[in-house]
Amino acid sequence: MKLLSRRNFLKKGVAGSVLASFLGRGQSASAREFDGYSEAMGVLVDLTRCVGCRSCEAACNREQNLPDPETPFDDYSVFDEERHGGLKRRTSEGVYTVVNRYEVDGLDHPLYRKFQCNHCKEPACLTSCFVNAYTKTPEGAVMYDPSVCVGCRTCMIACPFYVPAYSYSSVLNPVVQKCIMCYPTRLKHGRPPACVEACPSEALTFGHRESVLSFARDRIQKHPERYVDHIYGEKEVGGTSWLYLSPVPFKEIGFDMNVGHQPIIDYVKSFLATVPMVLTIWPALFAGFHRLATRKDWLKEKNAEETGEES
């Protein structure tokens, strides 16, 4: 009687786990789609207009109270700098935005590309953070809360644009640092980020993401000879708040064309949905199999014990 009930228990357990695995799959398939906040703001960077004056870098430094730069912002020799592997300058602790120069075949002048956090609609840094240190505000800025950060730096690996930087220079309280779109001082009050206002060429256009996206489409339509028919950031990694227009294919000026059109979290969603199932059901299931497989031995042992006791 005892054995039978155990068998029944195992049978039910297996049936239950199969059922649960199907239910689990159903849940992951209908995972919530997030298409970004409708009121999110954005900035359109028109690379045909940027002249590489670095005024945006200077304005960012002032607005965010960042430490002094290594060289003055009117030192244009930084454009010749090459990092390990021939890489251009990038964001770091104390530098939230950089402008890099690109020489392109067939163009008689160099192109300048401003680089900063692109403020993704569904940011990989945010979704990778297990203490929820990141927030995507309805205005579009991706904010970081250093008070809860544990310093794991997963966000730095998760970011498809390699934007977040870590203040390694701080021994006691290192934090992640990146562009916050001037959220507390400007964006929150409906004003454009400091870099946008500082740009003398109006290479940066501020407005609702949907609006600046339509400006970008409009510019391409009115001047097809001036732009390639691609708005970088419209679809890349599920869409970003910062969008780019270029006169040459984006891959020629250092843009990563392999980031895909899905938010980074989509690549791991189906995997993550199976994790709870694996963690809860597999131990019970395999413990059950083990029990079944070793039942005869166990019975023998038990019998032996009982006969031993009797004798």
Which residue among 10, 13, 17, 69 contacts another protein (CB under 8 A)?
Answer: 69
Taking CB under 8 A as the criterion, which residues in 108-167 touch another protein?
A: none
Q: Per-residue DSSP letters for 163-217?
A: --EE-TT-SS---EE---TTTTTTGGGTPPPHHHHH-TT--EEEEEHHHHHHHHH
d(CA 197, CA 210): 20
State how far the Cα of 206 lies from the Cα of 214, in Å rounded to an integer.
Answer: 12
Q: At 210, list the tokens.
A: 């949907």
Q: How many residues does the chain have?
A: 311
- For another protein, which residue of 10, 14, 20, 58 counts as binding (CB under 8 A)? 58
Q: Rule CB under 8 A: is residue 37 a binding residue for another protein? A: no
Considering only residues 84-113, where is the footprint of another protein by CB under 8 A? none
Q: Which of 8, 9, 15, 72 binds another protein (CB under 8 A)?
A: 72
Specify the pairing of strand 242-245 against strand 41-46: parallel
Q: Does 227 bind another protein (CB under 8 A)?
A: no
Q: Which is nearer to another protein, 197 or 252 (CB)?
A: 197
Closest to 41 (Cα-Cα) out of 205, 171, 203, 158 = 205
- Single out the residue of 74, 82, 105, 309 in contact with another protein (rule: CB under 8 A): 74
Look-up: residue for tokens 């240190």?
133
Shortest Cβ distance from residue 142 to another protein (Å)?
22
Backbone phi and psi for residue 251, each to the nearest 5 degrees, phi listed first: -70, -20
Considering the complex, what minimum distance in angstroms separates the CB of residue 127 from another protein?
A: 30
- Give the range of 6-14, 95-103, 177-185, 197-205 binding another protein by CB under 8 A: 197-205
Smaller CB separation from another protein, 136 or 219: 219
DSSP 303: H
Figure out which of the listed residues 10, 14, 20, 51 binds another protein, where binding follows CB under 8 A.
51
| The binder of another protein chosen from 85, 106, 190, 308 (CB under 8 A) | 190
66 belongs to the binding site for another protein (CB under 8 A): no
209 scored as a contact of another protein (CB under 8 A):
no
CB 174 within 8 A of CB 140: no
| Nearest CA-CA partner of 81 in 94, 56, 98, 59 | 98
Binding site for another protein (CB under 8 A): 49, 51, 53-54, 58-59, 61-62, 68-75, 190-192, 196-197, 199-202, 205-208, 211, 214-215, 218-219
